[in-house]
Structure 1
Amino acid sequence: MTDALPPIELAAPDITPHRRGNTGIDYVTTLAADRPGPHLVVTALMHGNEIAGAIALDQIFRMGLRPSRGRLSLVFANTAAYRAFERENPYASRFIDEDMNRVWADSLLDGPRDSLEIQRARQLRPLYDTADVVLDLHSMSAHTPPLTLCGRTARGRALALRLGYPAWVVADEGHAAGRRLIDRDAFIDPAGERTAILVECGQHWRQETAVVALESCLRMLLVLDMVEPDAVRPRLMTRGEPQHVVEVTQAVTVANEGFRFLEPFVGMEVIERAGTLIGWDGDIPLRTPYDRCVLIMPARRPRPGQTAVRLGRMTG
């Protein structure tokens, strides 16, 4: 993987006007319609250097967009890490103490650990506990095509396909290092109805990534029948790519120092033959387990205990 700093085409918006909101939680605003409907929570800045989501939420405020039914809550999550963002060292502000998207198990949130990210997750948990649908906006280190992580539920997959874009829909079970927001019990209960998906909108700081982030929000509002189509369709790109579903069969967790990939993979490469060498975990070779294996979100700097890459099989 290359360590060269990619171009930063995006400017981090000033989100301080959104601090007070109207919910009693800093940087959380709920817009409610008169007609009943679902509660959609859209989250940006789970990681402080993933600024495209913040741009999308700021644009929604500037558009004056309001739901025609139900409630729309807009959340700027790890604002402390966002305030630390520096264009000269943009990877450093992913978090302050720990990855905020690995702390969403109730056992952890109710426990003694007290990092800044856990404190913020405790503030936000009551809001997420009222959500019918969560859209969590993220971006990626590599210039990988946008993708939706839909978890393992049929309803998560169906929602991702109804959006129509991104073209890649990835069904997975998360990370060994901790539970993501979309993996909270209410969202993964096979008998439940509440749904959460995560959209990786593209490379962190490319102009197109902010376009995909806003488009994901607008598509979700359309699918949930929460806005009038004419209010958002002019901002939607014409997307002709067919959607593909990939089932993750293995999340490769780094066991040794010095993990390295054989090539500078960026993600969504399809490796045609089973047994193809793709990297080394210390002295242990990492090979593809089946034909047409998809490499999903290879890590920029794989470290022990973290996910190096997820391996997936195309099912549709």
Structure 2
Amino acid sequence: MTGSATGLPNLYPVELTPPDLTPYAAGNAGVPYLWTFEAAAPGPHVALSAIVHGNEPCGAIALDWLMRMALRPVRGKLSFVFVNIAAYEAFDPELPDATRWVDEDFNRLWGPGRLDDPDRPVTCEVARARELRPWLSTVDLLLDIHSMQHKTEPLIIAGPAAKGRALAREIGWPGIVVTDQGHAEGVRMRDFEGFADPASPKNAALVECGQHWEAEAAEVAKDCATGFLRATGAVAPDFGAERMAARPPRPAQRVYEVSGPVTIQTDAFRFAEAWRGFEHLEQGRLIGWDGEREVRAPHDPTVLIMPSRRLWPGKTAVRLARPVAAE
């Protein structure tokens, strides 16, 4: 389903003010809103991306923070990219859920052949993805900064490969690591090409920093960016030390493995309860209905990960996970 997410009532106060990104419009790498800096010493191409979804300002705040300090890599390349500018610029605090995208979800476009399909409409998001793809193909290590619909604990999406879990451990924030295969609707940017390939040295992490417009989400985004930059060696090992000393201590990470997403089949999906996320359900517990079909917890416990309010056919209603031992 394309179109905006209008019509969903706002459940949470808007505590964040999206920063003005027009100073970054020109970019310096031939693509608007994309900035790349190169060190004299060799090293990987490290990148941080924000506003893949236009109503998630915490990432824009974190990248604006890094750009304002004129951060430069000590080795390799370092890129900052503000992704879905059209959706971001349409953000309205009175209708904060209405600008997740302009035409379709930017974070479902990255599967093989998807952007080259001649029968696919050239939506706002497809055009921007095609513009960014040559650059993205050069990135070795990616941190994609997001936020969530409900106010639950922040988490890091490590993807399907063991290398993703290793990167999550090295980043250190947030305290919850989720491993999964993604969505039936389409491939995320964090799973593009080598990022999800166990045989590739490329790697990526997607962080969900908290509820979309809670103030703490911006601080978590800065924590994750700091941990990522340190872990990749793009900055000095003590980068951000003073800030991190004043923040809550680095948490002991808990790992959850997604056994599968619940992909909506009908236009009559509904949850049995007002799930918010991280509920632990016993096997067989009723989660909801997809039309007349019951959706029940498949294992004990079944942990609900990011239940959605966008209950439309083809989309993920919720991810079902089980806790696993941290490596």
TM, length-normalised to structure 1: 0.96
The 2-side partners of 1:23 and 1:287 are apart by 49
Give the aligned residue type for 2:324. T
1:301, CA displacement in angstroms?
2.7
Q: What corresponds to 1:258 in structure 2?
A: 268
Of 216-225 and 103-112, more deviation after overlay is shown by 103-112
Coordinate RMSD, CA, aligned:
1.3
Q: Which one of 288, 309, 313 corresponds to residue 279 of structure 1?
A: 288
SS in 1 for 2:226: helix
1:87, CA displacement in angstroms?
0.6
SS in 2 for 1:61: helix
Q: Deviations over 1:86-131 (max 9, x none)?
A: 0111111111110000011231111222111011001111111111
1:170 matches 2:182: no
SS in 2 for 1:245: strand
CA contact (8 A) 1:47 1:78 kept: yes
Give the aligned residue type for 1:282. G
Correspondence list, 1:149-228, <5 A: 149-228=157-236
Q: Which one of 285, 293, 298 corresponds to residue 289 of structure 1?
A: 298
Q: Which one of 156, 159, 162 corresponds to residue 148 of structure 1?
A: 156
SS in 2 for 1:175: coil
Of 210-219 and 182-191, more deviation after overlay is shown by 182-191
SS in 2 for 1:72: strand
Give the aligned residue type for 2:287. I
1:234 matches 2:242: yes
- Consecutive unaligned residues in structure 2, runs of 5 or more: 1-7
CA contact (8 A) 1:142 1:300 kept: no
Give the aligned residue type for 1:227. V
Q: What stretches of structure 1 move > 6 A for 4+ residues in a row?
A: none
Q: Which one of 305, 322, 326 corresponds to residue 313 of structure 1?
A: 322
CA contact (8 A) 1:165 1:239 kept: no
CA contact (8 A) 2:157 2:180 kept: yes
The 2-side partners of 1:46 and 1:4 are apart by 20
Q: What corresponds to 1:5 in structure 2?
A: 11
The 1-side partners of 2:28 and 2:13 are apart by 36
TM, length-normalised to structure 2: 0.93
1:298 matches 2:307: yes
Correspondence list, 1:58-69, <5 A: 58-69=64-75
